Structure 1
Amino acid sequence: MRRLTTLFPSEFLEEHAEELGVVERDRNLQIPVLVWALVFGFAAGESRTLAGFRCSYNSTADETISPGGFYQRLTPMLAKDLRDLVEHGLDEVAVPDTVDADIGRFRDVMIADGTVFRLHEFLSDEFQARHEEQTGAKLHLLHNATDQTIERIDVTDEKTHDSTLFKTVTS
């Protein structure tokens, strides 16, 4: 925690958010508390809901924020602010003398998802079902969250594991 607060002091978080126009009016929203609630609220626990993030914010902030007030703060400008903070953190940590040269491979955040869709029985010859369940197709998606692009998209039967479609880098 100390390393993060040294890398991202409250003044820096507030100034950067102000430059981007994250907060339109000077209200009671505490940008550093919001950033840390989103960062640590996402990492903790199994239920990562917007209500959970708001509870995390309210438990730390000087003044609580209503659900509507919290949801209104989740804007494209806040997303840009958070992306900029990630880039800033990577730039600050990636000092050539202290970090392996392979750090450049980790500049992108990739999200792999496999979602099963149940299909009509007429498609059972095309898409095999798991066990004796209703037949299903699986949508495999590889999303580059950093560039906001779709890197790969495939549709297979539901038995196909994600790892067979997405190439991984091994050393």
Structure 2
Amino acid sequence: MEILIYAALLSLLVSRDLLGLVTEQADDEIVFPPERWAATFRSHAQLILFELGEYLGYSPPSLLERLIEDAQKIHQQRPILQETLATAA
């Protein structure tokens, strides 16, 4: 629960800072309603993270590598659904 609160606070801070930057760059007569800005920020969050990652020099592993790695992992504390059903029956 604590990590969700931190994530929400971080998202709020980033959203407010970006809104300030956008407001600075836009013409003075343009208004950004809070609900519209929230929807815009949410819909562009993935692109924002991508741009931030590039700026910071982070290069994530390729999608294929991640799929291969994640598909092999079996979390020991979380049994596979088929195993759970078989032991329950």
Give TM-score, length-normalised by structure 2. 0.33
Q: Which structure shows the higher helix fraction?
A: 2
More strand by share: 1
TM-score, length of structure 1 as denominator length: 0.20
